A and B are shown apart, each in its own frame.
Chain A
């Protein structure tokens, strides 16, 4: 039937979605071939935000690259900092003081909450509910306030240093975090009524854009996306870096790998992150925050791959040192970039309204995709 129609002069419609489109989360360009409202082919076209991060990194000192890392996934800078410091630390075999490790974990987990809050808000907007966005941002603002009191910035924190963190926690930080967690827990329930269990929302997301276990592994997904498909893969458990092995937390996983599962995994992850933060606060003891490290470091020649579980997935940094003050090669494995690839497979056969639902559920940040 469709073949007949095509032969008789009907044609597929090519729709350029983006780079200027309200819900492509930045400057993603999707080339959609459509048959009516049904998509027959989808091709993500990236590179509009390419800033040459990896090349820039080769001409900056190791320490300065932490400031650069803030700009990969700009809504989860702490995790980026984490990935950026682990490599040189391992190369130079620096032991980071315990206090600094806990502070790092607290920061990274709070950042995970903040990042997932943005996901929650923007996903609501993608689906058409505007109000949750503002509620999510209100909570995120509180986290940013805490960050501001520690490191003096709200978006590009540049807080981690090779060998520790740049500043000790101020007095009001610990009570502030505790108050935030107590405030935040009930809010999660509110989100559930507002969006997670809303029939319209479930109608839009349940069963849409499902990824099977095998597909998820084949396409090298990571983070909440692979966990939603039922693969229990989390670097915090599978390859514990820093002090993550000391904490007791669960890895939320989904079953069907559809949009709703991906959404729910993130919502549950926020709860777990809150638990980790609480435990870390308890374990926090006075002490040094910096190991003895020279101002300008020269890691011994060698290469290393370190990865962290960023809010979006496995954020890896592969760096080669030639013994100078700057890295010889600096390769970033951005989780958003890898996760985005599966989009072309998922979108086939869906409707245009599902494009935003699926795209939103992968939770990409274009700064990390293009770098």
Chain B
């Protein structure tokens, strides 16, 4: 008999909790309409920065290429004799493979490779996930 009462009581208490939440504002967000704020450290797609003069900072040191665990960065480098430094003639990141581990950004000695807070880059073709230099250098 006592068992029945304790059981019923436990059941009623459980029901009270769900009933309480029935009136609490939901915590989910209506995604495409409203978006949650993402942290500034968010590891999204990659981009290369220019310096204040609007020049490329990346000097093609290939460190990011080497450190990437899934080999998704590839580049071609040439040496500009006039400016006495190297430039990349092409710089491609294959976001179909990238796992956004952030190792390349961490390793870049020029601090010119950064993550963007962009996380919506779905496409219909795989080719468009391969970003070339003109899209990465922003």
A and B touch in the complex (CB under 8 A): yes
- Identify the A interface with B (CB < 8 A): 60-61, 63-64, 67-68, 70, 131, 135, 138, 141, 145, 148-153, 156, 158, 166-167, 170, 190, 193-194, 197-200, 295
Is the C-beta of B78 less than 8 angstroms from some C-beta in chain A? no
Instruction: Enumerate chain B residues within 8 angstroms of A170, measured Cβ to Cβ.
Output: 39, 41
Cα of A45 to Cα of B43 in the assembled complex, Å: 36
Cα of A17 to Cα of B6 in the assembled complex, Å: 37
Contact A194 B41 (CB under 8 A): no
Question: Which size class do B's interface residues fall under?
Answer: 20 to 34
Contact B103 A158 (CB under 8 A): yes
Contact A152 B102 (CB under 8 A): yes
Instruction: Enumerate chain A residues within 8 angstroms of B101, measured Cβ to Cβ.
Output: 64, 67, 70, 156, 158
Contact B115 A198 (CB under 8 A): no
B32 CB, min distance to chain A CBs, angstroms:
19
The residue of chain A having its C-beta at the shortest distance from the C-beta of B119 within the complex is: A154
Instruction: Enumerate chain B residues within 8 angstroms of A67, measured Cβ to Cβ.
Output: 69, 99, 101, 103
Within 8 A of A (CB), among B1-36: 6-7, 10-11, 13-14, 17-18, 21, 27
Contact A193 B100 (CB under 8 A): no
Cα of A190 to Cα of B21 in the assembled complex, Å: 11
The residue of chain A having its C-beta at the shortest distance from the C-beta of B43 within the complex is: A152
- Cross-chain pairs A/B with CB under 8 angstroms, 27 sampled: A64-B67, A64-B69, A67-B69, A67-B103, A68-B69, A131-B18, A138-B27, A141-B27, A149-B39, A151-B43, A151-B102, A152-B39, A152-B41, A152-B115, A153-B42, A156-B99, A156-B100, A156-B101, A166-B106, A170-B41, A193-B10, A194-B14, A194-B17, A199-B10, A199-B11, A295-B63, A295-B107
Cα of A100 to Cα of B121 in the assembled complex, Å: 34
Instruction: Enumerate chain A residues within 8 angstroms of B7, measured Cβ to Cβ.
Output: 199
Contact B39 A198 (CB under 8 A): no
Cα of A68 to Cα of B63 in the assembled complex, Å: 19
Instruction: Enumerate chain B residues within 8 angstroms of A148, measured Cβ to Cβ.
Output: 38-39, 41-42
Cα of A152 to Cα of B6 in the assembled complex, Å: 47
Decide if the interface of chain A is mainly helix, strand, loop or mixed.
helix
Contact B14 A198 (CB under 8 A): yes
Given that A63-B67, A158-B103, A198-B10 are known contacts, is A193 also in contact with B43, CB under 8 Å in the complex?
no
A197 contact from B10, B43, B115, Cβ within 8 A: B10
Instruction: Enumerate chain A residues within 8 angstroms of B42, measured Cβ to Cβ.
Output: 148, 152-153
The residue of chain A having its C-beta at the shortest distance from the C-beta of B68 within the complex is: A64
B103 CB, min distance to chain A CBs, angstroms:
7
Cα of A167 to Cα of B43 in the assembled complex, Å: 13
Instruction: Enumerate chain B residues within 8 angstroms of A141, measured Cβ to Cβ.
Output: 27
Given that A64-B69, A152-B41 are known contacts, is A158 also in contact with B102, CB under 8 Å in the complex?
yes
Instruction: Enumerate chain A residues within 8 angstroms of B13, measured Cβ to Cβ.
Output: 193
Chain A to chain B: the 9 pairs with minimum beta-carbon distance, closest first: A64-B69, A152-B41, A152-B43, A67-B101, A199-B7, A149-B39, A148-B39, A158-B101, A193-B13
Given that A67-B99, A166-B102, A193-B17 are known contacts, is A198 also in contact with B41, CB under 8 Å in the complex?
no
Known contacts A156-B101, A198-B14; 12 further A-B pairs (Cβ under 8 A): A68-B69, A131-B21, A148-B42, A149-B41, A152-B41, A190-B17, A193-B10, A193-B17, A194-B14, A198-B10, A199-B10, A200-B11
Given that A64-B67, A152-B102 are known contacts, is A193 also in contact with B41, CB under 8 Å in the complex?
no
